[in-house]
Structure 1
Amino acid sequence: MERSLETQVSQAVDAWLRWLPRWQPATHRGRVAPCRLCLGSPVLSAAGLGADVPHAVQHGLSVRIKTIVDRAVAEYTSRNLPMLQAELDQQAARNRARSYRPTEDLEPEFEGLPLDPDPLPGAPFLFTLAGLAAEADAVVPALPPLTEEAKAALRQEVGLADDYANMVGREICTVLLHHRLRIQSAVGEYVEPQVEAMLEELTRSLDAPFDPRDGASGEFDGL
C-alpha cells in the first residue's frame, strides 16, 4: 500500500502543479465561514502550505489528497465493513435518484466549497443553487430507519473506517514531506508575486485615497 500511496500522492501533486500557473487571486468578496477541509489541515502542514498561502491554492491540493484517502477508505470498506458498505450503497442510489446534483463532477479547486456566495445585506437572492438542490433532495424518499442494534453495529464500523482513514492520512503526510521543496518552489514562482502585487496596489490606494484627476482632494484646500 505504501508504494501505491507514494505514486498516488506524486500524481496528485503533479496535477496540482500543472494547475497552479493558472491560479489568479479572486476578485469577489471573501466568505466568513472557514473551510473545514483546509483549516488546521495536517496535509497542508506536511506540504508546507501555511496560513499565508491563499485558500484557493490550499484547497486545490487538499481536495486532491482527500480523494486519495477516500479511495483507500472505500476499498477498505468494501472488503471489511459490509454493513457500512450497504448503507453507503443505499445512500449512493438515493443520490442518483435526485434530479439536480450541482456538487457532482466539479474540478478539485471547487469541490467542497459553498455553492452560493454570501448574500449582500438587504439584497437576498431570488434563488440559490443550494436551495434548488435541497428541493430536489426533498422529493427523494428517505432511507429506511435502522434498529438500535444496527445503529450500534454501524457506529462500530464507521469508527473502524475513521481509524483507517487516519492511518492513511498519516502515511500521506509522510510522503508529502518529500514534495515540500517543489511545492514551495511553485508557490514562490506563481503565487507570491501575485500576492505581492495585490499588496503593493493596496498600499498605493491607501497612500493616495483620492485620485488627483477627479478633483476630490481639492475640496479641502481651503481648510
Structure 2
Amino acid sequence: MRRPGTSVERVERSLETQVSQAVDAWLAWVPRWEPATHHGRTAPCRRCFGSPVLSAAGLGADVPHGVQHGLSTRIKTIVDRSVAEYTALNLPMLQAELDQQAARNRARTYRPGEGLDPEFEGLPMDPDPVPGAPFLFTIAGLAEEADARVPALPPLSEEAKAALRQEVGLADDYANMVGREVCTILLHHRLRIQAAVTEYVEPQIEAMLADLTKSLDAPFDPHDPGDPPRLD
C-alpha cells in the first residue's frame, strides 16, 4: 500500500482535478454547439479517429466530430502538459531540442495555428479544395512560407540522434501511461458527458434529420402555383 501523500498519489490527484476541470469546461461549451452548415471533410481527424479518450468518455461515432474534438483537445492538453513536466525534469536532450524548436517557432512572423480555442485547435486551417476552383492562397501555404524564412536547426551527430531517440521513446512511454490514467478517470465522468449530449446535441441532430425528411418528402413547394417540372 502506498503511503498517503506520495508523489504518485499527488500526480493522480492532480490528473483527477485537471480532467474534471476539462470536462466542466467542455460541458459549459456544449450548449453553444451548433451543427456545421458546410459539407464535411473527407479525411478523418487524426486526433479524434479511434481515440481511446473518446471511447472512455462514451463519445462514439454517432456523436458529431465538433463535439468530440472539443473534449479530445482539452484532454490532449492535459497529457501534453504532464509529458512536458516529465521531460523538463528527466530528459535533458529532448528538452534542449524542444527549447530550440520553440525559439524557432517564435521567430516565425505568421503563426495561425496558435492561440485557438480547443474546439478549433488541431483542425485543418483551410477548407477542402473544390475541383476546378483552386485557391488564390491558403492559410497553410502562408504559414509554410513564413516557416521557410526561418533558419533550420543545426544538424545532430549520429550519437546525439541515438540519444535523442531514446529520450523520445521514454517520453512516449510516459505519455501512454498518463493517457491510460486519464482514460480511467474519464470513465467516472461518462454519465454527465452523455447527459449533455442527450440534452444539447441529440435534439439538434433530430431537428436536422426532420428538416431533411421534409425536404425529401416534399421536393416542391405545395404553395407554389407553378407546375412542377416535367419528368417525361
Which bin holds the TM-score, normalised by the shorter protein? over 0.9
1:20 lines up with 2:35 in the alignment = no
1:86 lines up with 2:96 in the alignment = yes
Letter in 2 for 1:183: I
- Equivalent residues in 2 for 1:52-63, closer than 5 Å: 52-63=62-73
1:109 lines up with 2:123 in the alignment = no
Distance, in Å, in 1 between the alignment partners of 2:41 and 2:189 is 30
Most deviating of 200-209 and 180-189: 200-209
1:11 lines up with 2:21 in the alignment = yes
- Equivalent residues in 2 for 1:33-52, closer than 5 Å: 33-52=43-62
1:155 lines up with 2:186 in the alignment = no
Q: How far has the Cα of 1:10 moved from its partner? A: 0.1
Q: How far has the Cα of 1:217 moved from its partner? A: 5.2
After superposition, the Cα gap between the structure-2 partners of 1:194 and 1:150, relative to the gap in structure 1 and judged at 3 Å, is: same
Percent of pairs with identical residues: 82
State TM-score, norm by structure 2: 0.93
RMSD of aligned residue pairs (Cα, Å): 1.2
Most deviating of 156-165 and 198-207: 198-207
Distance, in Å, in 2 between the alignment partners of 1:206 and 1:82 is 62
* Aligned twin of 2:12: 2
Q: How far has the Cα of 1:204 moved from its partner? A: 1.1
* Aligned twin of 2:177: 167
* Aligned twin of 1:137: 147
State TM-score, norm by structure 1: 0.97
Task: Give aligned pairs, total.
Answer: 222
Which consecutive unaligned segments of at least 5 residues does structure 1 have?
Answer: none
Distance, in Å, in 1 between the alignment partners of 2:207 and 2:46 is 28
Which consecutive unaligned segments of at least 5 residues does structure 2 have?
Answer: 1-10
8 Å Cα contact 1:73/1:161 also seen in 2: yes
